[in-house]
Amino acid sequence: MKRRASVLAVFLLIGTMAFAATIGAPAATVRLTKTTPISMADLEAEVAQYKASAAEQGEDPASVDPLQVLNLLINNELFRQGAARDGVKITEAMVDSAYESQKENLEASSGQTFSDAQFDEIIVNNFGSVDAYREAIREQLMVDSYVRLKKADMLEATIQISDAEVTSFYRKNKTSFVSPETVKLSHIYIPFTNDAKKDEQNKSLMERVARDIKSGSLSFEKAVVQYSEDAQSKNKAGDIGWLTMDNTDALAGLGDAFFDVAFTTEVGNVSDVVTSNTGFHILKILAYNDTKILQLEDQISPTTSTTVEQYIRSELTAVKQQSNYYEAINNLVDDLRKTATVNILYK
């Protein structure tokens, strides 16, 4: 369920009650440093947002418990008052920086670049308004800063992952650690032009180069320097790295013929001319790995030195860190509730 501007929903474990109250009466009052009412209008608006989000997620809107939502609003108000009392300040510059970070994260995940106006439009379409989203960021920064101030000892505790935990995780998820069929390639490459006659000449040139390499009159490495038009790989003897059989993006870009030759040519051999979706290639197979289930000591991929065991330890550490963070927030909520006066009027 989407949590709009609410930041503490995961920490509420309150029983279900019927949603009925006198319109206009406050749903609750909260006092830590000052008495603040939470109106029925605020509660109803928040509940409506939760129900809309539930419907969008394919969940039953009736499962939204207004009392849970009310306690969420109470906790948010306690955090605001506590943070203000204890000197936590969230500046506009901090919100600006976080907003820009969200834009950068979206660009990185989508592979696109967005202008400020385009990103603002995305935010409006998904969150209603830029102001509402910025307020959500402010709330999140406030909670994060406050919990790190008050519960630093919990968050900075050393996390230990035992060998038994690693082994247990591996055994339960063993089939997830599968290395696909991979091949490491070098190539000589001439791209297509907009001239069909020139393309035919280039194809004929590449066919002659392939024959010369196979006859031994020309080395592959020398042919790369003399004929390849791939600037990135030309100074690396044509090395273009590893290709995996399950790489659908590469398959779409290069085409079936390229993949067929790359994965059927023996290691050390040089192919005939291969026509891809972008041009003409002569391939040299540098290394090949068949599909296999990885063991704990294996690298998770040919392009990294990280082993399966190291990867699992990192993942389990991240899970424990997140769990500790949630526990710290829960702990701080409990502290605030003990010193505050909360009057729930909603029935």
Query: What's the mean per-residue pLDDT of the chain?
Result: 91
Structure tokens at 156: 């900075």
For the cut 60, the answer to whether the pLDDT of residue 312 exceeds it is: yes
Considering the chain, what percentage of its residues have pLDDT values greater than 90?
A: 87
Going along the chain from its start, the domains and CATH numbers come out as 181-290 (3.10.50.40)
Instruction: Copy the structure tokens of residue 23.
Output: 């319109």
Please give the Cα distance from 101 to 135 (Å, whole number). 15
Which helix (H) or strand (E) is 283 found in, with range? strand 279-289
Q: One-letter amino acid identity for 332? A: L
Which runs of consecutive H residues, i.e. helices, occur in 128-162? 130-150, 152-155
**Confidence at 343, pLDDT banded by 50, 70, 90:** very high
What's the CA gap between 173 and 180, in Å, rounded? 16
Residue 15: band (very low, low, confident or very high) from pLDDT cuts 50, 70, 90: very low
| ∠ Cα 249 185 227 (to 5°) | 105
Q: What is the pLDDT of residue 303?
A: 82
The reported pLDDT for the residue numbered 301 is 86
> 84 CB contacts (<8 Å, ≥6 apart)?
33
Nearest to 179 by CA among 80, 295, 86, 96: 295
| Per-residue pLDDT at 9 exceeds 60 | no
Tens of pLDDT, residue by residue over 30-80, are 999 999 999 999 999 999 999 999 999 999 999 999 999 999 999 999 999
Rounded to the nearest 10°, the torsion over CA 245, 249, 250, 252 is 100
Name the token pair of 326: 């949630």
Cα 7 from Cα 74, distance rounded (Å) = 12
- Interhelix angle 130-150/66-85, rounded to 10 degrees, is 60
Q: What is the pLDDT of residues 265-302, one digit of tens each?
A: 999 999 999 999 999 999 999 999 999 999 999 999 88
pTM here is 0.71
Residue 347 pLDDT exceeds 90: no
What's the longest Cα–Cα distance across the chain?
93
Residue 13 has pLDDT above 90, yes or no: no
The counts of H helices and E strands in the chain are 13, 9
Rg (CA), the chain: 30
Q: In 3D, which of 195, 207, 186 has the Cα closest to residue 280?
A: 207
Contact 1, 318 (CB under 8 A): no
pLDDT at 24: 56
State both tokens at 82: 């506590």
Residues 316-337, mean pLDDT to the nearest whole number = 96
